[in-house]
Structure 1
């Protein structure tokens, strides 16, 4: 079955053919009119003796007639073109004022304006999506900030009670300190995201051993996984890559922290590094609580929390995996996640061997 796109292209070809034929007919008619007019003139006045002069006069007169005909046709078509230009200008004015619901109709009769109309429609759609993302972002930030501020305000008010026991006072102070720390972490993560999403993020690349980096990250977090009795298993090939070491270090720290956070006591975490055709492949797998399938597709979105109550208790802001995804994208790598409730989670990260 022939598609709509095929018929649309066919229609454009037919229109252009008719335009070319129309121009050729107009030229021929102009030439014939010029010839007829000069013959009428020659019946009144004598014809020049030079044959070449007669042809020159016919040609000049034919060109004049052709220009006049085109001008007259342009006068008839001008109102439609003016209406189209007015619609385009009005659409641009509405977009400049923040109205991104603009959509100009695409019709075959608009010829050379088709690309302009299509570009305006695409621009309005893209700006509309950006505005929606901006509003969602502001809403999420406001929500995330409001919650710890409410806790801090409430417990600070409770501390005014002089009859509080020393244990409760210490408990309330611990909560205020934890919420303050979470606000600080959220601010730091937002700054990192802003820096990573800038047009020209600044970072330096150099060659280093990826297996050494992973070992150092695990050792740096040893107190956290030892405190929960988690067994960490390393299976690392010796692989050297050229990348932004500090940025990738943030990736492994965030992923390992998540595994430790959501793995119960006496659980297990395995980290594997192998060489593949596409680059160095790092797999971080745990025996944690897992992620539901409906949440798995959203885990790299800003502020998304698959387990909101558990995440808040642990002090998460829902930005860690967004930062991970952005860093991997900058390195032109790939990250994927597999998980089931109660059966743990596996993250697979592929990083090119060399990135400039």
Structure 2
């Protein structure tokens, strides 16, 4: 079932439940309210009659002779003498008066509802003043009249509910359509992503959480497009990087087989073949390592690493290369703390970054470690020519090589290790003119 129909059904069901409960509560209370209101009305009417009778007739004997006056009132009432337990006058026939006396106690002044036949009556008793007269005026209203008012009120209430329900359902349909339409459009954009039609993806208009989902889908599509382009470039570069040494090896191997080279050239060819085999081995090993880093989280064995000791290990391993190239290597560690990562792999990442700096430096490489905003920051910078502008967006991609680069995998491996270790790596502006890499870990 479509989401729009589900939302409409859920909203309509909720509306019906609320209206049913509300209607039941109102239906239950309305009769009590009508009875109470009618009793107050009877009491006001009775007090007016009693006042008129008292003012006009005065004494008990005179009041007892007011039958003609009472008969003129369009009311159900009794003039009751509680001392003699006698109905002195009534606006109703004698048989009805007798019926009331058989079913109800006129002397009981706490009963608010009387019965006669199959009907109930709301009563109100007004005592003549002074109370020594013993006279009471008892007024009655049939419950049928109140129930008719109740039914009329409920009928109108149901009509209002029905109109409100229709309006609410129409509004619900409009709102759910407005809500679901962006989701439907988003579904078609996902279909385009599934078919890799990235150029046909369109932005959709939405608000709230749906807009956030749409933005995430769009960013995912862009990232997927970039990833697929990177993979395509990777395979192209990988095939190129592997093909070149293979062609060299093949050429020399065929020349040696066909005795094209002299003995001296054959030895030179064998040396070149060995160098290319070593280069191939390095490329393949780094490709395998990078694949494991990207796909096998179990390849990481996290442990607590002492940062000063880790930096000392980097410096010790760089000493021969620094001495060979005559580079000034400076290290400065301002923190004495630890971080949790795979020590061997993190050392590999820092070595890759440091070797890259030494390879491109003119005379100086700096390795600094310090704290900034509750973060541990490691920087490796050199005073070389820096990274060309066109390579900066792709510098951490596979087989992207700058001048004097080797396999083009070193920075990609460093990035994969650092990110899997919970850190971040980025390019920064160097103060000594060359390239500067920042490695950031939470403290």
TM-score range for the pair, normalised by the shorter chain length: 0.5 to 0.7
Query: Over residues 51-109 of structure 1, what are the superposed CA-to-partner deviations in whole Å (9 max), with x where a residue is unaligned?
Result: 1212222333444455567778999999999998876655444433332334356358x
2:366 maps to 1:276: no
Which of these residues, 416, 419, 443, is aligned with residue 326 of structure 1? 416
- Matched with 1:38 is none
- Matched with 2:275 is 178
Shift of 1:272: 4.0
Aligned counterparts of 1:260 and 1:105: Cα–Cα separation in 2: 46
Which of these residues, 417, 427, 438, is aligned with residue 336 of structure 1? 427
* Shift in alpha-carbon separation, 1:353–1:114, aligned structure 2, 3 A: closer
* Shift in alpha-carbon separation, 1:93–1:344, aligned structure 2, 3 A: closer
- Matched with 2:149 is 51
* Shift in alpha-carbon separation, 1:118–1:231, aligned structure 2, 3 A: closer
Structure 1 window deviating more from structure 2 (88-97 vs 172-181): it is 88-97
* Shift in alpha-carbon separation, 1:230–1:166, aligned structure 2, 3 A: farther
Secondary structure of residue in 1 paired with 2:257: coil
Structure 1 window deviating more from structure 2 (222-231 vs 133-142): it is 222-231
- Matched with 1:347 is 436
* Shift in alpha-carbon separation, 1:59–1:269, aligned structure 2, 3 A: same
Aligned counterparts of 1:324 and 1:188: Cα–Cα separation in 2: 15
- Matched with 1:252 is 350
* Shift in alpha-carbon separation, 1:166–1:283, aligned structure 2, 3 A: farther
Aligned counterparts of 2:191 and 2:217: Cα–Cα separation in 1: 11
- TM-score normalised by the chain length of structure 2: 0.53
Higher relative contact order (CA 8 A, sep 6+): 1
Aligned counterparts of 1:86 and 1:284: Cα–Cα separation in 2: 49
Alignment map for 1:135-284 (pairs within 5 Å): 135-198=232-295, 200=297, 202-208=300-306, 210-230=307-327, 232-235=329-332, 239-244=336-341, 245-262=343-360, 268-278=363-373, 279-284=375-380
Secondary structure of residue in 1 paired with 2:198: coil
Aligned counterparts of 1:180 and 1:289: Cα–Cα separation in 2: 31
Structure 1 window deviating more from structure 2 (228-237 vs 180-189): it is 228-237
* Shift in alpha-carbon separation, 1:111–1:348, aligned structure 2, 3 A: closer
Whether contact under 8 Å (2:352, 2:414) holds in the other structure is yes
- TM-score normalised by the chain length of structure 1: 0.63
Which of these residues, 280, 287, 303, is aligned with residue 399 of structure 2? 303
Larger radius of gyration: 2
- Matched with 1:26 is none
Shift of 1:219: 3.0
Whether contact under 8 Å (2:383, 2:434) holds in the other structure is yes
Shift of 1:160: 1.8
Secondary structure of residue in 2 paired with 1:214: helix
Q: Larger strand proportion, structure 1 or 2?
A: 2
- Please report the RMSD computed on the Cα atoms of aligned residues, expressed in angstroms: 4.4
Whether contact under 8 Å (1:241, 1:353) holds in the other structure is no
Aligned counterparts of 1:55 and 1:167: Cα–Cα separation in 2: 116
- Matched with 2:138 is none
Aligned counterparts of 2:442 and 2:203: Cα–Cα separation in 1: 48
Shift of 1:247: 2.5
Aligned counterparts of 2:171 and 2:385: Cα–Cα separation in 1: 74
Aligned length: 297
Secondary structure of residue in 2 paired with 1:128: helix
Query: Over residues 150-181 of structure 1, what are the superposed CA-to-partner deviations in whole Å (9 max), with x where a residue is unaligned?
Result: 22222222222324233322322222222222
